[in-house]
Amino acid sequence: MYNLLKGKRGIIFGALDENSIAWKTAERVFEEGGTFVLTNSPAAMRLGSLQELASKTNSQIIAADVTLVSDLENLIEKAQLILGGKLDFVLHSIGMSVNVRKKNHYIDEDYDFTQKGWDVSALSFHKLMQTLYKKDAMNEWGSIVALSYIAAQRVFPDYNDMADNKAYLESVGRSFGYFFGKDKKVRVNTISQSPTPTRAGNGVKGFEEFISFSEKMAPLGNASAADCADYIITLFSDLTQKVTMQNLFHDGGFSNVGVSQAVLETFSKYNENSSNTR
C-alpha cells in the first residue's frame, strides 16, 4: 500500500458486517496507516460483528446514537483522547428507513417513521458536523465524507423516503461544507455510490433489479463496496485537499448514461419474444 493516511486519525460510522462500505473503508484506512475509532448505534451493534473488525484493525469501539447530540459529544471527546489528538477524517455511512422496513409505500407513509428515518439518515449528518465544528475537533485539511445515492436526484420508486433523506444529506454536505471550509479549512463531500448489496440496501424492494439494471447501464459496471472504500481513501488523503462541497458520483458512469446498448438489447429480445408468442 501507499501509506496515504499515515499519522491520520478519525471516526468511522456505520460498519455492521463485512458487506458494509464502512467496514471495507476501515480495513483500507488501516492498510494505509490511519488509526480510528469505530462507532454504531447500540441496536445496530447487536446485529453486526463490529468487535471482529475492531480486533482486526487495532481500533476501539464507542457506541453512539447519531440522533443524540450528547452521544456525539461523548464520542468525539473520547475519540480524541483515544487517538491522541484532533481528527483528520470522518465517515458518515448511515441510512435507515422504517417505512421501507414496514413496506409502507411512498404515497402512504407513516410520518412518525419518516421523521425517524430522516433523523438517522440525514439530520444526523448536520448534528455530527455541528458537534465537530463547535468542539473544533477537526485538523486543518481534514475530510468529512457521507454516502449518498442517485435517487437524491432521480426517481427510483421503491427507494421510498430514503430518496428524500439522501437529497437532504447532500444539501447539508454543501451548506455545512461552506462554513467548515471557510472557517476551519475542512473538506466536506458526499459520494453517490452504485447500488451496493449491504444489509441496508438489501432491504429496499426490487434491490436486485436495481443492481442488475445499473450494471447494464454503467459502462464500467457497478462500483463495489471495496471500490468505494478505495475512493474514500483518496478523499481522506492529502491528494484531494481542494475538493469540497461536492456530490461525487462513484457509479461506473451510470449517472451520465441515458440508455446503454445492453439495455436496448434486453428490450429488443423482449419485443422479439412478445411478437413470437402472438
20 annotated binding-site participant = yes
For the chain, the C-alpha Rg in angstroms (whole number) is 19
Distance CA 168, CA 207 (A): 22
- Is 102 annotated as a binding-site member? no
C-alpha distances in Å from residue 141, one per residue of 197, 207, 251:
32, 37, 26
Beta carbons within 8 Å of 123's beta carbon, 6+ residues apart: 67, 168, 172
- Cell numbers linked to 106: 411512498
The answer to the question of whether 66 is labelled as a binding residue is yes
Q: Is 143 within any annotated ligand binding site?
A: no
Catalytic residues: 149, 159
* Cell numbers at 80, concatenated: 480524541
Nine-digit cell at 170? 447532500
Task: Report how far residue 171's alpha carbon sits from residue 177's, in angstroms, rounded to the nearest whole number.
Answer: 9
Question: 94 labelled as ligand-binding?
Answer: yes
Other CB atoms within a 10 A radius of the CB of residue 59 amount to 22
Query: What is the 8-class DSSP label of residue 219?
Result: T
14 is in an annotated binding site: yes
The set of cell numbers assigned to 147 is 454516502
Is residue 38 packed enough to be buried (19+ CB in 10 Å), middle (13-18) or exposed (0-12)?
buried
Q: 65 labelled as ligand-binding?
A: yes
With a CB cutoff of 8 Å and minimum separation 6, the contacts of 216 are 260, 262, 263, 266
Angle at CA 94, nearest 5°, toward 100 and 202?
45
CA dihedral 195, 197, 202, 206 (to 10 degrees): 50
Q: Which residues are annotated as a binding site?
A: 14, 20-21, 65-66, 94, 166
Q: Which residues are annotated as a binding site for NAD(+)?
A: 14, 20-21, 65-66, 94, 166
